[in-house]
């Protein structure tokens, strides 16, 4: 065989290897990651398998959750888009993250990878694609990266990618920001997807009502078809990776000591944020702001006989959705301990919950009932007073000003709970009360917290309407002289 023949054979062999490599890369995201110099760990391969399976399924949405630092964005936001466009060169991607800066960062990396790997991927950039966050392929496929909250117009996508819609705790714990982010997700991001488009959302969890939490609610109600993959830093029961309980994530590559990173984060991170960011459960099992072990449980026969009774209400205006209206009845004993005596909660109109409030007043005869002043007071008080008169159910109605944030308002009740001064009845109602408190401030609802806060604030401020239960009067000693009656003596006064 001549030198030229040998060279031709080598060229054919090389071409065959390149062809096999291209086919392998276009079939497998794992192979593309390896081609780019990455070594996917066990959890990366699991995420990849879920993504590839999802693309072939009839599901509409894939919800992924993993801790910070686990390289989840590397695989979803950098490696996946070029690989997806190689498989579907005529499709378009709408990629969103928490800020424009990050959207441009991921868009630039994807664009550069398409430019560098076009030969092996079988795609190429269109000649006029220079922008970092918006570019196109010569085959018609497009990529558009946006920051959450930014308006989207003139673009339709076959795939929506979301990578951490919240960039900080401040945003995630702001009810206003959470609501705006969800509205944007529904009205801007999702509305720009074509019929039959798919969505993949990668998150680190922050709050029960972050975007991921609301999507989980949609899935639970059957409003979407999809699947959830949640990877905890420290394995829990039924771990999707098959780890033992307590086993760290990414422990299969000693050269990258991610478990050491996780151990350090666990030592310095609050239980609440460890549960949310690293365990993908936005509230620790035992609570943080309120802790499960703080509350005494009692049965009806253990309730003190002498209690000063008060009521508190957190009012909501939506029927059948949103927040609950909650009424709570409390007793204060002679030692200043707080006893939860009963209550009512519901998502109804004001005429209904005012009647339930008056039912509780009639049943418990509280000395005073507390609510928050402001807009709600102005809308509630006239009808409440009228119905109180009509039903001849009377109470001292008190309105406390809404100042500072919810956490600050709850400090008084929190302090008493921490001192083991709060008693909650056994049973489902008491269980639900405690569960909501221990999820605060990361929980979906905080109406119970608001009612408890009002009681704590009334006691903190030594409000004239509050008083402890009277101590039962003790008979004074007569020291052997007998008790004198009606003499004006100091011993009989």
Tell me the DSSP string of 205-246: ---TTSHHHHHHHHHHTTSS-EEEEE--SB--TT-TT-PPTT
> Do residues 264 and 297 share a domain?
no
CB atoms closer than 10 angstroms to residue 173: 18
The CATH number of the domain holding residue 103 is: 3.40.50.300
Q: Are the beta carbons of 474 and 435 closer than 8 angstroms?
A: no
* Domain end (from 255, 278, 301): 278
Q: What is the mean pLDDT of residues 154-167?
A: 94
Q: Quickly list DSSP for 91-108.
A: -EEEEEES-HHHHHHHHH
Quick one: 239 and 383 in the same domain? no
Which of the pair, 249 or 466, is modelled with greater confidence?
Answer: 249
Same domain, 196 and 319: no
Give residue 483's pLDDT band: very low, low, confident or very high (50, 70, 90). Answer: very low
pLDDT at 299: 93
What's the token pair of residue 425?
A: 């009845």
Largest CA distance in the chain: 138
* pLDDT score, position 157: 97
Any bridge partners for residue 325, and if so which? 346
Lowest mean pLDDT among 85-99, 152-166, 210-224, 404-418: 404-418
Under DSSP, is residue 398 helix (H, G, I), strand (E, B) or coil? strand
CB 296 within 8 A of CB 420: yes
Q: Do 151 and 298 belong to one domain?
A: no
337 shares a domain with 428: yes
Instruction: Check whether the bond before 441 is cis (ω within 30° of 0).
Output: yes
State phi, psi for 415 to the nearest 5 degrees. -60, -40
Q: Is residue 475 part of a domain?
A: no
486 within some domain: no
In the 8-state DSSP scheme, what is residue 248?
B
- Is 63 a member of any domain? yes
263 and 333: one domain?
A: no
Judgement on whether residues 146 and 264 belong to the same structural domain of the protein = yes
Could you tell me if residue 348 is inside a domain?
yes
CA distance 274 to 205: 10
Burial class (CB in 10 A: 0-12, 13-18, 19+), 271: middle
**Residue 473 placed within a domain:** no
Dig out the tokens for 22 from the structure.
């291209």
Structural domain total, the chain: 2
* Whether residue 36 has pLDDT greater than 50: yes
Does residue 355 fall inside a structural domain? yes
Please, which pLDDT band fits residue 20 given cuts at 50, 70 and 90?
confident
Q: Are residues 188 and 81 in the same domain?
A: yes
The C-alpha atoms of residue 412 and residue 297 are separated, in whole angstroms, by 20
Same domain, 121 and 203: yes
- Report, as an integer, the average pLDDT of 372-382: 84
Question: Positive or negative, the Cα torsion across 99, 105, 108, 114?
Answer: negative
- Strands of the sheet containing 368-372, edge to edge, are 296-298, 422-425, 338-346, 325-332, 308-314, 368-372, 397-400
**CA triplet 431, 433, 434: central angle to 5 degrees?**
65
Say if residue 208 is in the same domain as residue 108.
yes
CATH number for 390 = 3.30.420.240
Q: Looking at residue 74, what DSSP letter applies?
A: I
Would you say residue 69 has pLDDT above 90? yes
Q: Quick check: pTM over 0.85?
A: no
Integer Cα distance of 154 and 159 in angstroms? 15
* Terminal-residue alpha carbon distance, the chain: 129
Segment holding 260, helix H or strand E: helix 258-268
Mean pLDDT across 98-110: 95
Beta bridge partners of 340: 330
Q: What is the pLDDT of residues 291-347, one digit of tens each?
A: 888 999 999 999 999 999 999 999 886 554 557 899 999 999 999 999 999 999 998
Indicate whether 55 and 139 sit together in one domain. Answer: yes
Does residue 17 have a pLDDT over 70?
A: yes
Which of 278, 301, 326 is where one domain is finished?
Answer: 278
Does residue 106 carry a pLDDT above 70?
yes
163-172 residue pLDDT tens: 999 988 889 8
- The helix or strand, by DSSP H or E, that contains position 364, with its residue range, turns out to be helix 350-364
Q: Domain for residue 364, yes or no?
A: yes
Domain membership of residue 109 (yes or no) is yes
Domain limit, last residue, from 221, 251, 278: 278
Q: Which of 315, 326, 297 is nearest to 431 (CA)?
A: 297
- My answer on whether 322 and 193 are in the same domain is no
Place of tokens 């959302």: 201
pLDDT in tens, 207-243: 888 999 999 999 999 999 999 999 999 999 999 999 9
Domain that holds residue 360: 292-460
Rounded Cα gap, residues 161 and 99, in angstroms: 14
Which pLDDT does position 478 carry in this prediction?
A: 45
Q: In terms of pLDDT, which residue wins out, 379 or 386?
A: 386
CB 92 within 8 A of CB 144: yes
How far is it, in rounded angstroms, from Cα 236 to Cα 240?
A: 9
């Amino acid at each position: 065989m001549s030198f030229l023949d040998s060279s031709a054979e080598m060229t054919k062999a090389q071409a065959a290897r390149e062809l096999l490599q291209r086919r392998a890369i276009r079939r497998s995201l794992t192979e593309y990651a390896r081609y780019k110099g990455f070594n996917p760990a066990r959890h990366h391969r699991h995420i990849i398998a879920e993504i590839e399976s999802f693309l072939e399924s009839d599901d509409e949405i894939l919800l992924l959750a993993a801790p910070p630092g686990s390289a989840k964005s590397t695989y979803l936001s950098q490696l996946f888009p070029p690989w997806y466009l190689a498989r579907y060169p005529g499709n378009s991607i709408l990629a969103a993250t928490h800020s424009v800066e990050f959207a441009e960062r991921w868009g630039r990396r994807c664009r550069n990878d398409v430019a560098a790997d076009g030969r092996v991927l079988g795609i190429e950039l269109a000649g006029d694609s220079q922008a970092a966050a918006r570019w196109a392929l010569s085959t018609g496929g497009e990529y558009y990266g946006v920051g959450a909250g930014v308006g989207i117009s003139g673009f339709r996508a076959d795939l929506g990618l979301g990578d951490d819609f919240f960039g900080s705790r401040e945003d995630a714990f702001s009810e206003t920001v959470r609501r705006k982010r969800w509205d944007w997700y529904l009205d801007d991001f999702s509305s720009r997807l074509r019929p039959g488009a798919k969505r993949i959302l990668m998150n680190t969890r922050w709050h029960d009502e972050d975007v991921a939490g609301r999507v989980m609610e949609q899935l639970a109600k059957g409003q979407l078809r999809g699947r959830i993959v949640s990877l905890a830093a420290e394995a829990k029961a039924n771990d999707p990776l098959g780890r033992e309980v307590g086993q760290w994530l990414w422990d299969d590559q000693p050269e990258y000591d991610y478990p050491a990173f996780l151990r350090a984060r666990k030592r310095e991170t609050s239980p609440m944020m460890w549960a949310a960011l690293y365990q993908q459960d936005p509230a620790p099992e035992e609570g943080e702001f309120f802790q499960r072990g703080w509350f005494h449980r009692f049965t009806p026969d253990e309730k003190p006989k002498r209690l000063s009774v008060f009521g508190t209400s957190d009012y909501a205006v939506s029927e059948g959705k949103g927040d609950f209206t909650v009424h709570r009845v409390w007793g204060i004993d002679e030692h200043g301990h707080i006893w939860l005596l009963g209550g009512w909660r519901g998502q109804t109109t004001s005429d209904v919950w005012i009647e339930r409030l008056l039912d509780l007043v009639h049943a418990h005869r509280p000395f005073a009932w507390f609510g928050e002043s402001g807009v709600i007071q102005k809308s509630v008080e006239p009808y409440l007073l009228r119905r109180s008169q009509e039903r001849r159910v009377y109470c001292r109605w008190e309105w406390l000003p809404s100042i500072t944030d919810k956490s600050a308002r709850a400090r008084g009740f929190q302090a008493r709970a921490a001192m083991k001064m709060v008693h909650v009845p056994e049973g489902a109602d008491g269980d639900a009360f405690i569960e909501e408190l221990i999820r605060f401030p990361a929980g979906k609802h905080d109406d119970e917290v608001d009612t408890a806060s009002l009681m704590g604030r009334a006691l903190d401020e030594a409000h004239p309407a509050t008083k402890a239960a009277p101590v039962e009067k003790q008979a004074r000693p007569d020291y052997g002289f007998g008790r004198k009656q009606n003499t004006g003596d100091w011993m009989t006064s």
